[in-house]
Amino acid sequence: MIKVITYSPAYTIVPTYECFNRCSYCNFRVDPGADTWMKIDRATQILTDLQGENICEILILSGEIHPQSARRPAWLDRIYEIGNLALNMGFLPHTNAGPLSYDEMARLASVNVSMGLMLESLDPSLLNGVHRHAPSKLPAIRLEQLNWAGELQIPFTTGLLLGIGEAETDWQISLQAIADIHIRWGHIQEVILQPYSPGSQESLAGLGFDILKLPRVIQLARQILPADITIQIPPNLIPNPNLLLACLAAGAKDLGGIVPKDEVNPDYHHLQLANLSALLANAGYELQRRLPVYPNREHYLSDRLQAKINYQRQSMQMAAIDNLD
């Protein structure tokens, strides 16, 4: 029997790299004021160039402007405008812009078919370590975001960042917290188990997560999380093909957005889709495209968003037929 593994054909748009947090493992951020925000004309050109490229998801991934900054409303406007533009051009936006206020989250939800925020870890010791200079990484803030997303009925992605100094016992604690919130609201689509992988732009210069432990963490997650939450792993951070297959056997079923450039881990490139598909096929798996919102969460969304989803689903079906010809 063929076992299905899913992924989202995606492209990442970054409104700004500037961020007031200074996580010591970050390979993404620049200092506040050191980046020019993406203009709508540039976003329009990017999306125009993507027409006909079989991209369905636009991941809007942004650095964080401080909640008390006078520039915060303009920053949120820019993220909203890019999401609305992507929708109007036939794409399905998914935004991850760090913690938001309740009203900010509600506004962005109107132009996103799903949203996300990594929980990362609930281990309080990280506030004296890698998160010492990252105010928005307070565990209480992250948990509040997951609850607000549930209250607002936003199809949501969260996850753990593994190997940043957390105690291994925290994996179970963090996964159980996600499970408890999902049991209350039913909105979490995916949990990403992301191994910390050292990059060339960070200040931590750590050894990274012991990648051989990843199948064990996946098994733990599968035991704790409700069955309707999919476990996602990033294939570009798993260098050994046999280990990737072991992770799938342990319970991972999704490979996330396959993008031309991983903005969070720019030193780690994805395999070509044909090579990834062949690897999986040889092991009895079929790699299938999916949308950034799962079918059992679509009823949360507005009529406008559902219409865009139906359009994109029809486009994917037509592309699949063309590939068979």
The per-residue pLDDT for 31 is 95
The per-residue pLDDT for 62 is 98
Q: Left if phi > 0, otherwise alpha if psi is -120 to 50, otherwise beta: which for 37? A: beta
Cα dihedral 297/301/304/310 (nearest 10): 10
Q: 93 with 314: CB under 8 angstroms?
A: no
The per-residue pLDDT for 314 is 86
The per-residue pLDDT for range 185-209, each reduced to its tens digit, is 999 999 999 999 888 777 776 668 9
Closest CA to 208 of 221, 218, 219, 199: 199
Q: What DSSP designation does 206 have? A: -
DSSP secondary structure, 298-319, as one string: GGGS-HHHHHHHHHHHHHHHHH
Dihedrals phi, psi of 304, to nearest 5 degrees: -60, -50
Q: What domains sit in the chain, N to C, each tagged with a CATH number? A: 3-324 (3.20.20.70)
The per-residue pLDDT for 282 is 95
The per-residue pLDDT for 323 is 57
The per-residue pLDDT for range 8-28, each reduced to its tens digit, is 999 999 999 999 999 999 999
For residue 158 the two structure tokens come to: 């969260």
pTM: 0.95
Q: Residues in the chain, how many?
A: 325
Q: 161 with 118: CB under 8 angstroms?
A: yes
The per-residue pLDDT for 316 is 75
Q: Write out residues in the chain with pLDDT < 50, as ranges.
A: 324-325
